[in-house]
Amino acid sequence: MKVALVYDRVNKWGGAERVLLALRQLYPDAPLYTSVYNPQNASWAKQFEIKTSFLQGIWGASTRNELLGTLMPIAFETFSFDEFDLVISITSEAAKGIITKPGTCHISYLLTPTRYLWSGYDVYFRNRIFRTLSYPFVSYLRNWDVVASKRPDYFFAISKEVQNRIKKYYKRQSEVIYPPVFSKEDKKNVAGKKYFLLVSRLSKATFYKRVDMVIEAFNQNKLPLKVVGTGSSLNFFKKRARSNIEFLGEVSDDALSELYEGAYSLIFPSNEDFGLVVVEAMSHGTPVIAFKGGGALETVTPGITGEFFDRQDSNSLNHLLKSFDWTRYNVRTIKTSAQRFSLQTFKKEFANLVNQKMSEYQKNL
């Protein structure tokens, strides 16, 4: 069976990119089609055979997502997949809109329906003037997105939260397969718990992650906080943080493992589609303090693997932190809870469901 993978853009490192590496283990010969590719920012992708769109030739497009805009739909519609039996798109944007002919099965593993068009529209376009000026483009993209959502033969969702969004915005059914966590062996030289930990991208495009709220909360409570992540807003947050907050930038996987193990808790303030860092922290036996919403509701068990705060504001987070005691949580229990998101489980469930859908698809030809 000849397989191709499709992803929105290959120019960063994050949870979705880990999914691509897991899929490569299942389909090692599959080329990766994408709108743009930045080798410097996506060194992990060097092991793939990358096929880019015409957008690759636009200066700056591989690093500045805002330059792509309304060209993304055209970019993915120009790819041909006639030679493939199966195409798997991993997407939160335009990659699901590829066009395949009968005989080529298209399965879309959806990270979320395009956030800035649907569930996050009011957050992204909260400025009234910007919303008004952007309306023609948003209207075009929404119409295209609905049309594109009819093209995959099957949808897989990364969480029940995303499954519900697919049904709400696209009127499509889907199957849930949780993304995998790549576990690391515990480090024996980590002595005690010394800080709280925040792991997030720090860019204007991801302000929905509410890093600003966590900075405000820890400015007030003066507890030690380490922040892992980089992005265009890094200096913005640094200037507003007190001395108890340390910014570490981008770190290696081994260093991140040690940071998870040395933390009282991971702070997870975002209303996310899934939240892979939550499961990563749990795989190291570290409890999670999470906002009560989104994918965290499917991964965090209050009193067992962490706790929830009710509102995305500093007062709600600090109220919980006052009563939080990391010694109440059993490391082994937390690690066991994370095993259902293991790489082995993901590969087995994904391969089985793909085989099931391929058989169904071929019967209906």
pTM of the model: 0.89
Residue 198, Ramachandran bin (φ over 0: left; ψ between -120 and 50: alpha; else beta): beta
Predicted local distance difference test score (pLDDT) of residue 26:
98
pLDDT given for residue 186 in this prediction:
58
Question: What is the pLDDT at residue 335?
Answer: 96
Share of residues in the chain with pLDDT > 70 (%): 95
CB atoms within 10 A of CB 289: 23
What would the pLDDT profile of 242-260 be if each residue is shown by its tens digit?
999 999 999 998 999 999 9
**pLDDT band, residue 205 (cuts 50/70/90):** low
Domains with residue ranges and CATH for the chain? 3-180+343-363 (3.40.50.2000), 195-340 (3.40.50.2000)
- Reported as a pLDDT band with limits 50, 70 and 90, residue 21 is very high
Cα distance between the two ends of the chain = 16
Mean pLDDT of 230-240: 93
Q: Which band of pLDDT confidence, cut at 50, 70 and 90, is reported for residue 185?
A: low
Report the C-alpha gap between 242 and 362 in whole angstroms. 60
Residue 45 pLDDT class (50, 70, 90 cuts): very high
What pLDDT band is residue 191 in, cutting at 50, 70 and 90? Answer: low
Length of the chain: 365
**CA torsion, ordered 350, 352, 356, 362, to nearest 10 deg:** 80
Q: Is the dihedral of CA 51, 60, 38, 253 positive or negative?
A: negative
User: What digits encode the pLDDT tens for the residues 48-66?
Assistant: 999 999 999 887 776 666 5
Residues 92-104: pLDDT tens digits?
Answer: 999 999 999 999 9
Q: How confident is the model at residue 294 (pLDDT cuts 50, 70, 90)?
A: very high
Per-residue pLDDT at 116 exceeds 90: no
Query: Average pLDDT, stretch 332-337?
Result: 96
Q: With cut-offs at 50, 70 and 90, classify the pLDDT of residue 67.
A: low
CA distances (Å), origin 202, targets 6, 207, 311: 25, 8, 21
Q: What share of the chain is helix, strand, coil (3-state, %, to 5)?
A: 45, 15, 40
